Amino acid sequence: MRIARTVGELRAMLAGAGDVGLVPTMGALHEGHLSLIRRARDAHGTVVVSIFVNPTQFGDAADLEAYPRDEKRDLDLTREAGVDIVFAPSAREMYPEGFATTVRVTGPLTESLEGAGRGSAHFDGVATVVAKLLIAVGPRAAYFGQKDAQQLLVVRRMVADLGLAVDIVACPTSRERGGLARSSRNVRLSPSDRERALAVPRALEVVATAVAQGERDVADLRARALEVLLAAGVEPEYLAFVEPDTLEPVREVAGPTLCALAAGVGGVRLIDNTVLSPGPQAEERHTIEEY
């Protein structure tokens, strides 16, 4: 496994590489990242993992400061996973002196949900850094987690609008036992907060079960989810039922519907989501007991 610190080094390593898959990450790798890496490993001759805690997507300097970092461990994990190249640039390499270009996806895709909570500048940071990574690596496909459903939509929009020749592959959310979505931030949860955090996947599960049993009314589904969350003392920042491609709010689950939520638990901001399907496939969805 080789490590590139600059775009120049990366390009030299990739010269002649045929079929490249890219997995962009912010490091502090966990099983969720590894599931993306395995997907890429199965599909491409060369796998590149980027590790870059992107300062421009953090609104809050304290959050950026507190973001977990452990490069040595990350490199051990990527090596074990059969990654060919890790691209781990400095902030100065990604944002050189005088940097003045932003890639911005406008409208509800970036203004709602995470954009409303964190400010739409968050997605400017995401779109800009992902565009730079795609241009630097030139992969045939790049792998993203469904856990960050809105990020996936923003990246897809940006790739379509800029005409970048890359497949964006969505990968399912990897969960801990009990259903908590894996996240680098989970290491900051105390044991009791980790217990409370289980209300997040449980609320999604309650909603999915109600939909499978025929409930379609979003006001009712919201009340059921809130009951689970509030019983655990978890106050959601948002709990949204939206059209999965446009993020427009819906009042009833008439077709596939994204149920997404964000909540702070013990100072750690958690996000999670599930796609609700009113059709017969609803009964086939995975329950949290399977994880």
Kindly tell me which residue out of 110, 184, 186, 274 binds ligand AMP, with binding defined by CB under 6 A. 184
Looking at beta carbons, which residue is closest to ligand AMP? 145
Interface with ligand AMP (CB under 6 A), residue from 148, 218, 240, 261: 148
Residues 125, 219: Cα–Cα separation, whole Å? 34
Q: In this structure, are residues 198 and 178 in contact, taking their beta carbons and an 8 Å threshold?
A: yes
Site mask for ligand AMP (CB under 6 A), range 45-84, x = bound: ----------------------------------------
Give yes or no for residue 132 binding ligand AMP (CB under 6 A): no
Is 144 an interacting residue with respect to ligand AMP (CB under 6 A)? yes
- d(CA 70, CA 158) in angstroms, rounded, equals 30
- Is 33 assigned a catalytic role? yes
Nearer CB in complex with ligand AMP: 120/221: 120
User: Which residue, 126 or 242, has its beta carbon nearer to ligand AMP?
Assistant: 126
Tokens of 194: 């980790």
Interface residue with ligand AMP, options 145, 201, 236, 244 (CB under 6 A): 145
Integer Cα distance of 105 and 157 in angstroms: 7
Find the radius of gyration of the CA atoms of the chain: 19
Half-sphere exposure of 162 (CA within 13 A, CB side): 20
| Site for ligand AMP contains 147 (CB under 6 A) | yes
**DSSP class per residue in 226-281:** HHHHHHTT--EEEEEEE-TTT--B-SB-SS-EEEEEEEEETTEEEEEEEEE--SGG
x/- string (CB under 6 A) for ligand AMP, residues 164-183? -------x-xx------xxx
Active site residues: 33
Residues lying near ligand AMP in the complex (CB under 6 A) are found at 25-26, 32-33, 35-36, 144-145, 147-148, 171, 173-174, 181-184
